[in-house]
Amino acid sequence: GAVVSQHPSRVICKSGTSVKIECRSLDFQATTMFWYRQFPKQSLMLMATSNEGSKATYEQGVEKDKFLINHASLTLSTLTVTSAHPEDSSFYICSAPGQGRLSGNTIYFGEGSWLTVV
């Protein structure tokens, strides 16, 4: 079964609105989570590292005010796309390093969330 879960799996929002995507670690705690974006027929691009209890670290070129990341607990990180535009339409994926009963050397990925901005 999935060890990292994302919600929603698909979302459609109107241009100019904000949308929140949740990423949860199941059965383990994740002090760090990672957010990726993937456009069609392209590879995954790391957007930011989400740190529990502190600010996220953003990759170069990623607007932190547009992609708000909150890691309020050891099992939940959220990505909010603010003032969404059609070019933000993409597949968003989160991941977390396995801990506890899971291998400490493996990163597990969520199922992904499709965002369509109309």
Partner 1 sequence: DAKTTQPTSMDCAEGRAANLPCNHSTISGNEYVYWYRQIHSQGPQYIIHGLKNNETNEMASLIITEDRKSSTLILPHATLRDTAVYYCIVNFNPTGNQFYFGTGTSLTVIP
Sites of contact with partner 1 (CB under 8 A)? 4, 6, 32, 34, 36, 43-46, 49, 91, 93, 95, 97, 99, 104-112, 114
Q: How far is CA 74 from the centre of its chain?
A: 14
CB of 104 to partner 1, least distance (A): 7
Nearer to partner 1, 12 or 107 (CB): 107
Nearer to partner 1, 80 or 109 (CB): 109
Nearer to partner 1, 81 or 93 (CB): 93
CB of 14 to partner 1, least distance (A): 23
C-alpha 69/C-alpha 58 separation (Å) is: 9
Q: Within 13 A of 81's CA, how many CA atoms are on the CB side? A: 27
CB of 16 to partner 1, least distance (A): 26
The enclosing H or E element of 79 equals strand 76-81
Nearest to 81, CA basis, from 15, 31, 33, 32: 15
